[in-house]
Amino acid sequence: MTTLAAPPQPATVGDDAFVEAPSRPFAILAEFDNVTDVISATQAAYDAGYRKMDVHTPFPIHGIDEALGVRPTILPWIVLLAGLTGMALGLVMTSYTMGMVDAPLPGVPVALEPYPYLISGKPYWSLAAYIPVIFELTIMFSAYTAVFAMFFLNKLPMLYNPLFQSDLMRRATDDRFVLSIEAADRNFDEQQTAAFLKDKGALNTDIVNY
Amino acid sequence: MAHHATATLTDADTAVLGNRAGKAFMPLLGVGAVCLLVALIFALFFPDGIDRFGFAYLTAYAFCFAIVLGCLFFTIITTLFRAGWSGMVRRIAETFAACVPTMAVLFIPLAVFVATGSGSPYIWAKDAEHGGHHATLEQDGSGSPVGAVAVIAEQADGHGEAGGESGDDHDVDHASDHGAHHGPPSFIGNNNPDDWGTWYSGAVEYYMGVKYPWFEKWFWALRWVVYFAAFALIGVGYWKLSVKQDATADPSLTNTREKYAPASVIAFALLVTFMSTDLLMSIDPVFFSTMFAIIFFANAFTAGLATMILVITVLRKRGYLPNVTTEHFHDLGKLLFAFVFFWGYVSFSQFMLIWYASLPETTYWFEIRGVTTVAGTFFDGGTGGGGGSDPAAPTFNSGWSWVALFLLFFHLFLPFAILLSKHVKRHPFWRVVMAVWMLVVVYVDLYWYVMPMFSSPSIGLDMLPIDLLTLAGMVCLLLAAALKRAARHSLVAKNDPRMHESLALDTNVWAPVHAD
């Protein structure tokens, strides 16, 4: 955001055909060695106006969602919508294939014509017999949507994250708690943010470039 | 925030009700006894009021037993899973689960109904002197008194002897309602809608023979002794181990509880299966459904959870249990929500299987409960009100249909949609509304199982006060019993070794085993 890459030089003949863009910061990392410090630092960062931040910890921490100001996910609403879609689709499919006895629709290809089947003397349109189909489609749509919408909302699968360059991140899976503030945050400033985090008890800070 | 990991049990959490329970105990006992007495007196004003009282008593009894068994299941299933979250609320469940002996005492009136042989609420207990279906067969083609069961059983190969024995015991009177019927009495294939009464009395005889000796009184009494002994062993046993830990703070008592939990859960499953069959399904000896017991179980757990939510809310209003937080209510609400749908799932399974198989010996069970698209039945000559022998007669497709539809919407669709939201489960007012709602629909569900046997096709609302008074009385007596159990002990299993997990419960985040 701060420094845009300079326009690449025209390629010259030889080994310098590819010019590396000058690096620009992606995020700043701050290392803590206990839960209380990382939560209070996160809360302080939130109060100071930082929003594009995350905390990387070896285990889930109670209260970190509140400190980060994580807003409730919209995933449940997506799943609800998918479930209702599955339900409607199940109802329409069963009613169309089994229930449309007397109405060959004009223009419908033979392969897509209704296929009413007489089963143990029941009426063709029998809601009780359709319920399992409707139920299963509702469940299937909800379950698959829950999984894949979660992937989508979490930007998964993400094979590379610039944060992995920092040595600080190695211990985030072991015995350190790492707070990261992205350079894209409107309050981000390399020096000031680093000083702020030091002030809030960070053991170390590290700038990660793209 | 992480700070609530430091929460500890306060004096208000571990308070003992003591004498304060006594103030509510006597009024509850008194109101309960008066309600039952008034219901009984009210019943005397109706010609068949005492029979109705039997059915009302059975419904109310099943409702209260459902609460006790739901709490018993909560106790053993959380112990089986070594649940940490439930520590703050477990004692409430244990207290109700320990009320099995009270339920055994309250069972005595039902035993009296069976012993007197009035046929209410259990038709199989009807004696000959009450004009029941055990009266002597006057004429049956051959002229010799032969039980219908024997005849049918002889037709079906291999059952002749056993059927004959029971047939001798249960001679049948078909002459009164059976004049035009020739040949051996049989209900199978009898599709004449004018003849439904004959069909049913024949079916009762036949299935009592098939199910012999299930409906023998001695066997019935023996089973109930086993049910109460086993339930009391589990319910009172777990409660005793829990209150013992209050005094000794011995964590090995938790090991003992967990050691017996798997066997208790298996025993619970078997006992509830047979017990609900005996308590509710056997009011109709013809009907059979393998789903019935599990529907009762779904109702029982629903009622148990709703009762726990309400009791804890009342206690918190009075200043007890301050460490039961929204998180605990949220978890109880999740279970309640799950079992709303579980009830719908198993109830629909029962309906769909019976509807698909379309066997007369099971479809009639739904028919007399109003679940039928057939406008006309034997009551109106099969033509749908107007064309039969009695044009004014009601059909099954009447009052009970509304109850069935009520259950579909208010026991399944609406509470499912409402409890889906976590805001409802966490809201202090709406979660109470939903708990009361679920208790009401569980009672209506049990009512719908029991009462049509007495009054269908009519819904019989003229004697509704008997039902409601009996219900109020029985619930008061159960609460009095639970209060007496609770009075001398802490309201929380205060020395539970997993209490710190329950105190630190935060359902917003997955909780590590050792929160601190």
* pLDDT tens digits, A104-129: 678 888 888 888 888 888 888 889 99
Give the residue from A54, A24, A61 showing the smallest Cα distance to A180. A54
The C-alpha atoms of residue A165 and residue B394 are separated, in whole angstroms, by: 81
**Is A123 near chain B, with CB under 8 Å?**
no
Least confident of A114-123, B35-44, B89-98, B327-336: A114-123
- Residue range A128-143: average pLDDT? 95
pLDDT at residue B308 in the model: 97
Is the pLDDT at B321 greater than 60? The verdict is: yes
Cβ contact, residue pair A36, B508, below 8 Å:
no
The C-alpha atoms of residue B96 and residue B444 are separated, in whole angstroms, by: 22
Nearest CA in chain B to A120: B356
**Residue B199 burial (CB < 10 Å; 0-12/13-18/19+)?**
buried
Cβ contact, residue pair B512, A59, below 8 Å:
yes
Helix (H) or strand (E) holding B438: helix B430-450
**Is A34 near chain B, with CB under 8 Å?**
no
Residues of chain A in contact with residue B511, where contact means CB-CB under 8 angstroms, are 60, 62
CA distance A76 to chain B (A): 10
CA distance B5 to chain A (A): 9
CA distance B421 to chain A (A): 10
B10 falls in which pLDDT band (50, 70, 90)?
confident
Q: Tell me the percentage of chain A whose pLDDT exceeds 70.
A: 89
**Is A68 near chain B, with CB under 8 Å?**
no
Q: Which amino acid is located at B204 in the chain?
A: V
Is the pLDDT at A131 greater than 70? The verdict is: yes
Residues of chain A in contact with residue B356, where contact means CB-CB under 8 angstroms, are 120, 122, 128-129
- A·B CB contacts under 8 A: 44
Cβ contact, residue pair B2, A62, below 8 Å:
yes
Q: Which residues are CB-contacts of B93 (< 8 A; sequence separation ≥ 6)?
A: B71, B72, B74, B75, B304, B308
The reply to whether A89 and A149 lie within a common domain is yes
The b-or-e profile of B396-405 (16+ CB within 10 A means b, else e) is bbebbbebbe
The reply to whether A97 and A163 lie within a common domain is no
- Residue range B5-26: average pLDDT? 83
pLDDT at residue B151 in the model: 33
Q: Under a CB-based contact definition with an 8 Å cutoff, are residues B55 and B292 in contact? A: no
- Residue range A48-67: average pLDDT? 90
Cβ contact, residue pair A62, B511, below 8 Å:
yes
Among B352, B358, B506, select the one facing A62 at the smallest CB separation: B506
Cβ contact, residue pair B2, A39, below 8 Å:
yes
Tell whether A2 is covered by a domain: no
Q: Which of A115, A130, A153 marks a domain boundary? A: A153
DSSP B320-352: --TT--HHHHHHHHHHHHHHHHHHHHHHHHHHH
| pTM score, whole prediction | 0.83
Cβ contact, residue pair B2, A131, below 8 Å:
no
- Residue range B287-312: average pLDDT? 96
- Residue range B135-151: average pLDDT? 32
Least confident of B91-105, B179-193, B337-351: B179-193
pLDDT at residue A8 in the model: 57
Is the pLDDT at A80 greater than 90? The verdict is: yes
More reliable by pLDDT, B178 or A182:
A182
Cβ contact, residue pair B356, A36, below 8 Å:
no
Give the residue from B369, B295, B315, B306 showing the smallest Cα distance to B491. B315
More reliable by pLDDT, A59 or B434:
B434
**Is A117 near chain B, with CB under 8 Å?**
no
- Residue range B55-73: average pLDDT? 97
Is the pLDDT at B386 greater than 60? The verdict is: no
pLDDT at residue B455 in the model: 84
**Is A66 near chain B, with CB under 8 Å?**
yes
CA distances in angstroms from B367 to A62, B165, B444, listed in the order given: 54, 33, 18
The reply to whether A82 and A57 lie within a common domain is no
- Residue range B261-269: average pLDDT? 97
The C-alpha atoms of residue B308 and residue B431 are separated, in whole angstroms, by: 12
Is the pLDDT at B104 greater than 60? The verdict is: yes
Residues of chain B in contact with residue A67, where contact means CB-CB under 8 angstroms, are 1
Nearest CA in chain B to A62: B2
Is the pLDDT at A165 greater than 80? The verdict is: yes
CA distances in angstroms from A37 to A32, A51, A158, A173, listed in the order given: 7, 18, 29, 17
Q: Tell me the percentage of chain B whose pLDDT exceeds 70.
A: 78
Residue-wise pLDDT for B124-142, tens only, equals 998 765 544 433 333 333 3
Least confident of A158-172, B90-104, B369-383: B369-383
- Residue range A35-53: average pLDDT? 93
Cβ contact, residue pair A60, B3, below 8 Å:
no
Cβ contact, residue pair A63, B1, below 8 Å:
yes
The reply to whether A62 and A161 lie within a common domain is yes
Q: What is the mean pLDDT of chain A?
A: 87
**Is A72 near chain B, with CB under 8 Å?**
no
Is the pLDDT at B66 greater than 60? The verdict is: yes
Tell whether A1 is covered by a domain: no
The reply to whether A60 and A161 lie within a common domain is yes
- Residue range A201-205: average pLDDT? 92
pLDDT at residue B147 in the model: 33
Highest mean pLDDT among A61-75, A113-127, B58-72, B172-186: B58-72
The reply to whether A163 and A143 lie within a common domain is no
pLDDT at residue B62 in the model: 97
pLDDT at residue A13 in the model: 54
**Is A65 near chain B, with CB under 8 Å?**
yes
Cβ contact, residue pair B2, A121, below 8 Å:
no
Q: Under a CB-based contact definition with an 8 Å cutoff, are residues B171 and B137 in contact? A: yes
pLDDT at residue B20 in the model: 85
Residues of chain A in contact with residue B512, where contact means CB-CB under 8 angstroms, are 59-60
Is the pLDDT at B385 greater than 70? The verdict is: no
**A208 forms bridges with which residues in the sheet?**
A27
Residue-wise pLDDT for B463-477, tens only, equals 999 999 999 999 999
Tell whether A5 is covered by a domain: no
pLDDT at residue B31 in the model: 96
Nearest CA in chain A to B350: A128
B182 falls in which pLDDT band (50, 70, 90)?
very low
The reply to whether A62 and A164 lie within a common domain is yes
Angle formed at CA B451 by CA B450 and CA B452, multiple of 5 degrees: 100
**Is A35 near chain B, with CB under 8 Å?**
yes
Cβ contact, residue pair A65, B358, below 8 Å:
no
Q: Give the B-side interface with A, CB within 8 Å.
A: 1-5, 348, 351-352, 355-356, 358, 420, 504, 506, 508-512, 515
Tell whether A7 is covered by a domain: no
Q: Tell me the percentage of chain A whose pLDDT exceeds 90.
A: 56
Radius of gyration of chain B (CA): 25
Where in the sequence is the domain holding A194, given as residue range(s)?
15-72+157-209
pLDDT at residue B345 in the model: 96
The reply to whether A139 and A187 lie within a common domain is no
Number of domains in chain A: 2
Among B352, B420, B509, select the one facing A62 at the smallest CB separation: B509
Nearest CA in chain B to A35: B2
Among A61, A121, A131, select the one facing B2 at the smallest CB separation: A61
pLDDT at residue B196 in the model: 64
Residues of chain A in contact with residue B5, where contact means CB-CB under 8 angstroms, are 62
- Residue range A33-57: average pLDDT? 93
- Residue range B276-286: average pLDDT? 94
Q: What is the mean pLDDT of chain B?
A: 82
pLDDT at residue B115 in the model: 93
CA distance A63 to chain B (A): 4
pLDDT at residue B203 in the model: 84
Among B4, B352, B420, select the one facing A131 at the smallest CB separation: B352
Tell whether A9 is covered by a domain: no
Cβ contact, residue pair A62, B351, below 8 Å:
no
Q: Which residues are CB-contacts of B176 (< 8 A; sequence separation ≥ 6)?
A: none
A76 falls in which pLDDT band (50, 70, 90)?
very high
The reply to whether A147 and A111 lie within a common domain is yes
Residues of chain B in contact with residue A177, where contact means CB-CB under 8 angstroms, are none
The C-alpha atoms of residue B76 and residue B265 are separated, in whole angstroms, by: 6
B187 falls in which pLDDT band (50, 70, 90)?
very low
Cβ contact, residue pair B2, A120, below 8 Å:
no
Cβ contact, residue pair B504, A128, below 8 Å:
no
**Is A136 near chain B, with CB under 8 Å?**
no
